[in-house]
Structure 1
Amino acid sequence: MYKKRKRIIIITCIILIFLVIYFSISLFFKERFYFGSVINGVNYCGKTADEVERSINETVQTYQLTIEGRNGLIDYISAEDIDYHYIPDGTIERLMETQNPFKWPIALFGMNDLEMHIEAGYDSDLLSDLVNHLVFLQEKNNIPPVDAYINYNDTEYTIIPEETGAYITENALYQSVKQAVEDGAEHLSLEELDIYAVPKYTQNSPVLLQLTKKLNTYLNVVITYDFDDRSEILDRVFIKDWMYVTSDFDVDFSLEKVREYVDYLARTYNTFGSKREFIAHDNSQLTVSGGDYGWLINRAQETEAIVEIIKEGKSVTREPVYQQVAVSRATNDIGNSYVEIDLTNQHLWVYKEGNLVIDSDLVSGNISKNLGTPTGIYQITYKEREATLVGEDYSSAVKYWMPFYYNVGMHDASWRNEFGGDIYKTKGSHGCVNLPPKVAKIVFENIEKGTPVVCYNGKLIKKTAEENTSNLSNKKNN
C-alpha cells in the first residue's frame, strides 16, 4: 500500500514539474517568438517584439545599394546617404499575436518561417540629389548611342555598326533607384533593367540592309557611250556623287549633277553648228563654220534616261538621246558621202562612199542683192520631184528640189544657159544653188535626206581662156 502511494506521489510530482516547466515556457513565449522563428531569413527565437524591431532597425542602418552599369561602372547608396530608417508599423506585434504560447512544443519539431515587409523611410530630396551625382550621369560616362549608318569606302557602300553608348536619363535612373530602395534591394543592374537609350538603327536593321543593297546595285552600273571612234564610261566615279538618300530611306538622284555630266557630253560630242576642219576636193584643208548640221544631244531626255538606266541596275552600251543626228558618229561626222559647194569658184562636187559622182559649175545667190547662199555645213532636209518654188516676186517650177537650209536648196534651173563664173554676183538666184538640169538629176539620184552639204568660200582659182571656153561649151551642152 505504501509503495503504491509513493509511486503516485512521484508521478504526480513529475507531472507537476512538467506542468510548471510547460507553463513557465508558455509564459515565456507569451511575449517572445517560438523556437525556430525566422523573420525575413533572420532567426529571432526568444526575442521580444521590441528586440526584433531594434534588430531590424540596426540592420536597416547598415543598408547599402550597389548599382552596376555599363562599361564596368559601379556606384553605391548607403542608408546614411539618404537617411534610410526603419518605420515600425505594428507588423511585429501582429506576428507575435498569431503565435499561441501554449503551442510552443510544436515549434520544437519545425521552423516557424515568417515573412514580413520591412517598412523603411528615406529622404526623397537626398535621394534625388544623390542620384543626380551618381557616376552614371557624368558627362564622360553618359554617352549617347550612335545609330548605324551607311558609308562609302571608295569601293562599295557598307554599314558602319551602331554604338550602344551608355546613355540614361536622370528620371529613368531615379525611378529605378527609388524602386530598388523602396524594395530594400541591395543590388541593382541597370543593364538588366533595360533602361539605357538604344540606337534607332542597327547594322541589322532591314531598312539599312535594303538601302545598302540598292546603293551598291546602282553603284555597279556602267554606261558605255559609243561615239564610233571614241567612247565615254559613266560609272561609280560619277554615280556615287549623284545619289542621295531620301527622308523615307529611298535612293534618289540629283538631276542637277546628272545634267552637269550630260552638259559635259554635249560640250564634248555635240557637233551641231560647230567649226570643222574639212578636206576639200583638191585635198586642201579648210575650216568651215556655221550651218545647222551635226549631232545634238537632247540634254533633258538624256538626263532622265541616265537615271532610269541606273535604277534598272543593268550595265549597257548605248548612244545618247539625240535631238538631231548626222551621217557619221565618228570624229569626222560628215562621212564620205556629201555635197561640196565652193561658192567663190561657183562649183559643186558630189561624193558617194568616197567616190566622186559628179562635179559641175553652178549659180548661187545674188550677192548684189544680199541674197548670197549661206556658208556652213547643212544637211538635205528632204527631196521632192516636180516642185514649185514661190517667193515674193517669183514662182519657178523645178523638177528636182533638194532643200538644205529652210527655203534654200539645190535645184535644176532650166531657164539658165550658163553656170559658173561671176554670174552670181549680179544675176544670181534668190539664195538657192542653181544647177544644170542633167546635173540636178544626177545629184537628186545620189543623195538622201540627211546628206551633208558643205558650203564655203574657197580661194579664187583663175581659169585659163581654154578652160573657160571648155566650161562654156559644157554649160551649153547642159
Structure 2
Amino acid sequence: MLYEERNIYNMEKKGGLKKSIIIIAASIAAVIAAVYFWGVWFYSTHFFFGTEIGSFNCSNMTVDEAKEQIKNDIENYGFTFYEKDDKTEVVTGKEIGLTAEIPDNLQELLQEQKPFLWLTSFKSRSLPLKTEAVFNRHTLYNRITQLDFAKKSNETVGDYTEKIYFENGQFRARDNGTSDVISINDVYSRAKAKIKDLYLGMSLEKEGCYKGINDDDTVKGVLNLANKFVASKITYNLGDETIILDSATIKDWVNIGENSSVKLNTDKIREYVDGLAKKYNTVGAERSFKTSGGSNITVGGGDYGWKINASKESDELCGLIWEGQQTEREPVYAQKALKSGKNDIGSTYVEISIASQHLWFYKDGTLVTETDIVTGDTTKRRSTPSGVYRLKYKDKNVVLKGEDYETPVTFWMPFNGGIGLHDATWRGRFGGSIYRGNGSHGCVNLPYSAAEKIFKSLSPGEPVVVY
C-alpha cells in the first residue's frame, strides 16, 4: 500500500514538471512570435536596421523620417578628406554652394524590402540614391588647394629646381623619400565625382592620391619638356668633319625656373654657334696656297670663304631643340665657298702675284691664260690689297670713275669694292716695275685678250687670290 502511494506521487510530480516545461516553452514561443510579428509590422513601414541610402543613414526610419534626415544632412553636408596619420579636413556644402533634391524613390525602396526577413537584416546595406548634387566646381577646386594636405604637398615639392638633376641623358627629380606629394587634379576629380553622388568623404590613401615628387603634375610637366629638349640630336656636317650636338651639351642650355618655366638659354646657343663660326668660318682666314711658281705660301684676308650666319643658325638650332628633333644638317651660311674644308679655294681661281706682276687663271685645274699685269701704284699708297676675294659680278662696257679719272673699259670684274680686273688698252706694256710710279688706282690692269678670256670663263663667287 505504501509503495503504491509513493508511485502515484512520483507520477503526479513528473506530470507537473512536464506541464511546466510546456507552459514555459509555449510562453517563449509566443514572445518570439510576438517579437517577430512586431518586427514584420514595424519593418513594413521602416527601413531595416543598418540601411544607408547613398551615404545617408536611414536605419529604422520611416520614409518621412528618412526624407527629413536626408534633407537635414544635405543642408549640413560636409565632405571629409581622410588623410594620413588619422587627420581629417572637411569641405562643407555651404562653401561650394551645394544643393540637391530630396530623392523621390524612398517609398519604392521601402516596398522592395521584405519585412518577414527582418531577422536576417542586421547588417549594413546600401541602397541607391536617385539624386545628384549641384555645386560650384571651380570653388571646390580652389577650396581643395587651401587645405592643409595641399599646402603640405606644395611645401614638399617646394623649389623643385633644387631637386632636379641630370643623369644618364635625362632630367630627373630627386624624391625626398616621403609620399606627402598630392596630385591636386587627382584629388579634385575623385572628390567631384563623390560629392556629385553625395558621398560623405574619401580616403586620400585608399584613392591613391599620395604620390612621389616625380608624379607631381607640375614636376612631370617640367621634366617632360626638359627631357624633350635633351632628346635632341643635331649632327652638323662641316666639310670633312662631323660635329654631334646632343644631351651632353644641351643639358647646360636648359633653364628650369619658378612657375613651371622651362626655357632654352638662347645666349648659350648663340655662344655655341659663334664657336662653330670661329672654328669653321674661312672668310679672312689664313690659308696655305701653292703658287704657280711652286712655292707654298700663306695668304690671309679677303672676303672669300665659308661664313656661318650665326643669328639665323641660332634661331634654327633653338627651334630644332624645342621640337626635340634628331637630324643631320649644314649650318645656315651667309656665304659659301666652292670647296669644303680649310683650304677651300678649289681648282678654279685667278692667281695674282704683286711681286711678279703676273696673273694666272685656272679653270678646273687647267691653266686658261697667264699674263703680265699692272697693279696699284705702291708709290702713291694705292697698292692692290692682298687676300682671297670673291668675284662680285661681271659687266661690259663700263666707265670707271674716280676723283681724277674717268676711264671706259670693255671688261669689268670687281672683287674688292671698287677694285677689280679690267682691260687697259691705253697701256702699251705690262709687268716689270711699272706699278712703282705708274701703277693703277688699285685695280689689276690686263691686256685686252687676257681680260676677254677671263671674263668669258670666270664666274661670280669664284676666288681671286692676291699675294
The equivalent of 2:171 in structure 1 is: 157
Matched, 1:268 2:282: no
Shift of 1:166: 8.0
Shift of 1:159: 4.0
Matched, 1:240 2:251: yes
Matched, 1:294 2:305: yes
The equivalent of 1:225 in structure 2 is: 236
The equivalent of 1:314 in structure 2 is: 325
Which stretch of structure 1 is more off in the superposition, 317-326 or 223-232?
317-326
**Partner Cα distance (2:258, 2:293) in 1:** 65
2:397 equivalent among 378, 382, 386? 386
The equivalent of 2:436 in structure 1 is: 425
The equivalent of 1:369 in structure 2 is: 380
The equivalent of 1:343 in structure 2 is: 354
Given that 1:162 and 1:203 are in contact with CA atoms closer than 8 Å, whether structure 2 keeps it comes out as: no
For 1:117-128, what aligned pairs fall within 5 Å after superposition? none
**Secondary structure of the structure 2 residue equivalent to 1:303:** helix
Matched, 1:324 2:335: yes
Corresponding letter in the other structure for 1:301: K
Change (3 A) 1:425 1:356: same
Given that 1:229 and 1:331 are in contact with CA atoms closer than 8 Å, whether structure 2 keeps it comes out as: no
Given that 2:180 and 2:211 are in contact with CA atoms closer than 8 Å, whether structure 1 keeps it comes out as: no
**Partner Cα distance (2:390, 2:203) in 1:** 81
Shift of 1:217: 2.1
**Partner Cα distance (1:320, 1:205) in 2:** 39
Given that 1:292 and 1:378 are in contact with CA atoms closer than 8 Å, whether structure 2 keeps it comes out as: yes
Shift of 1:200: 9.8
**Partner Cα distance (1:313, 1:418) in 2:** 65
- Structure of larger gyration radius: 1
Task: Note the alpha carbon deviations across 1:251-299, whole angstroms, 9 max, x for none.
Answer: 2111222122112112211112111111111331001122222222222
Structure 2: runs of 5+ lacking an equivalent:
1-82, 87-154, 182-201
Given that 2:287 and 2:299 are in contact with CA atoms closer than 8 Å, whether structure 1 keeps it comes out as: yes
The equivalent of 2:367 in structure 1 is: 356
Corresponding letter in the other structure for 2:439: G
Normalising by structure 2, what TM-score? Answer: 0.58
Task: Note the alpha carbon deviations across 1:103-122, whole angstroms, 9 max, x for none.
Answer: xxxxxxxxxxxxxxxxxxxx
Given that 1:145 and 1:165 are in contact with CA atoms closer than 8 Å, whether structure 2 keeps it comes out as: no
**Secondary structure of the structure 1 residue equivalent to 2:376:** coil
The equivalent of 1:401 in structure 2 is: 412
Structure 1: runs of 5+ lacking an equivalent:
1-68, 73-143, 168-190, 457-478
Given that 2:409 and 2:424 are in contact with CA atoms closer than 8 Å, whether structure 1 keeps it comes out as: yes
Given that 1:161 and 1:202 are in contact with CA atoms closer than 8 Å, whether structure 2 keeps it comes out as: yes
The equivalent of 2:222 in structure 1 is: 211
**Secondary structure of the structure 2 residue equivalent to 1:430:** coil
**Partner Cα distance (1:326, 1:302) in 2:** 18
For 1:178-217, what aligned pairs fall within 5 Å after superposition? 202-217=213-228
**Partner Cα distance (2:409, 2:210) in 1:** 82
The equivalent of 1:449 in structure 2 is: 460
For 1:278-289, what aligned pairs fall within 5 Å after superposition? 278-289=289-300
**Partner Cα distance (1:298, 1:386) in 2:** 35
Given that 2:282 and 2:342 are in contact with CA atoms closer than 8 Å, whether structure 1 keeps it comes out as: no
Shift of 1:158: 3.1
**Partner Cα distance (1:453, 1:166) in 2:** 72
The equivalent of 1:438 in structure 2 is: 449
**Partner Cα distance (2:370, 2:180) in 1:** 89
**Partner Cα distance (1:428, 1:199) in 2:** 88
**Partner Cα distance (1:266, 1:368) in 2:** 38
Corresponding letter in the other structure for 2:407: S
Given that 2:361 and 2:367 are in contact with CA atoms closer than 8 Å, whether structure 1 keeps it comes out as: yes
**Secondary structure of the structure 2 residue equivalent to 1:287:** strand
**Partner Cα distance (2:204, 2:224) in 1:** 35
**Partner Cα distance (2:211, 2:270) in 1:** 36
Given that 1:362 and 1:435 are in contact with CA atoms closer than 8 Å, whether structure 2 keeps it comes out as: yes
Matched, 1:252 2:266: no
**Secondary structure of the structure 2 residue equivalent to 1:387:** strand
The list of structure 1 runs, each at least 4 consecutive aligned residues, that deviate by more than 4 angstroms after superposition, is 69-72, 146-149, 191-194, 198-201
Shift of 1:201: 7.6
For 1:45-124, what aligned pairs fall within 5 Å after superposition? none
**Partner Cα distance (2:267, 2:327) in 1:** 22
1:412 equivalent among 420, 423, 442? 423
Change (3 A) 1:249 1:426: same
Given that 1:223 and 1:317 are in contact with CA atoms closer than 8 Å, whether structure 2 keeps it comes out as: yes
Shift of 1:364: 0.7
Q: How many corresponding residue pairs? A: 294
Shift of 1:393: 1.1
**Partner Cα distance (1:431, 1:326) in 2:** 25
**Partner Cα distance (1:213, 1:354) in 2:** 55
Shift of 1:300: 2.3
**Partner Cα distance (1:146, 1:193) in 2:** 18
Given that 1:146 and 1:199 are in contact with CA atoms closer than 8 Å, whether structure 2 keeps it comes out as: no
Task: Note the alpha carbon deviations across 1:220-244, whole angstroms, 9 max, x for none.
Answer: 2111111121121111111000011
**Partner Cα distance (1:339, 1:199) in 2:** 76
Corresponding letter in the other structure for 2:304: Y
Change (3 A) 1:358 1:199: farther
Given that 2:413 and 2:420 are in contact with CA atoms closer than 8 Å, whether structure 1 keeps it comes out as: yes
**Partner Cα distance (2:384, 2:210) in 1:** 75
Change (3 A) 1:199 1:263: farther
**Secondary structure of the structure 2 residue equivalent to 1:421:** coil
Change (3 A) 1:379 1:145: closer
Corresponding letter in the other structure for 2:418: N
The equivalent of 2:38 in structure 1 is: none
